Amino acid sequence: MKAIQKSVLALALGLICLTAPAMAISEKYRSQSENLLAQAAAALAADQIQQADDLVNLALTANPANAAAFILKGQIHAANGDTAEALRIVTVGLAIEPANLPAIALQIELAVEIERFEQADEALATYEKICLDDCGQVEPLRRLIDDSRAADTKVEVKSQKE
C-alpha cells in the first residue's frame, strides 16, 4: 500500500515539475496578450480601426482564451458596421467570461440592432441574474429591447398593409 502511495506522490510531483515551465510560458503569453490588448484599445479610441484589429488579433494569438480581446474585437467589428459578426464575436468572449456585465450590455445592444430580440431577451435575463448591486442598466436595456421590438412590429404591420 505504501508503495502505491509513494508512486502516486512521485507522479504528482513529476507532473508539477513538468507543468511549471509551461505555466511560466503561459503567464508570459497572457501578459503579452494583455499588453497588446491595451494597445488595441488605445488604437480603437484613436479611431485607428485597422491597427486595433491587427493588435487584437495578435493578442488572441498570444492568448486565445482572452475574453476581453474577443469583446474588443466585437467592438471593432461593430465600428466597421459588421454588427452580426460583432455579435458573434462578443458572444464567444462571453462564453469565456460569462459574468462580464459591460459585454452582456453590448451583446444586448448588438442583438437589438440586428433585430435578434430573443437573443437580447436571453442576454437581459442573464444580466439581471448576475448584476447584484450594479443593476442600473437593466431598465434602460429593457426599454431598448421593448422600444426596438415595438418599432419593428410597426414596420411589419405597415408593410403588410401596403
Give the pLDDT confidence score for residue 39 in this predicted structure.
97
Q: Please compute the mean of the pLDDT values over residues 116-135 and round it to a whole number.
A: 92
- Rounded mean pLDDT of the chain? 85
- Cα dihedral 126/65/34/32 (nearest 10): 180
Asked if the model's pLDDT at residue 13 lies above 50, the reply is no
Q: What is the mean pLDDT of residues 86-96?
A: 97
Please tell me the predicted confidence (pLDDT) of residue 132.
Answer: 82
pLDDT of residue 2: 52
Q: At what angle do helices 67-79 and 2-45 cross, to 10 degrees?
A: 20
- Indicate the pLDDT class of residue 80, thresholds 50, 70 and 90: very high
Report residue 27's pLDDT band, with 50, 70 and 90 as the boundaries: confident
18-29: average pLDDT = 58
Average confidence (pLDDT) over 101-122: 97
- CA–CA separation, 29 and 40 (whole Å): 16
CATH architecture under which domain 2-161 falls: Alpha Horseshoe (1.25)
Tell whether the model's pLDDT for residue 6 goes beyond 50.
no
Torsion sign across C-alpha atoms 138, 143, 146, 148: negative
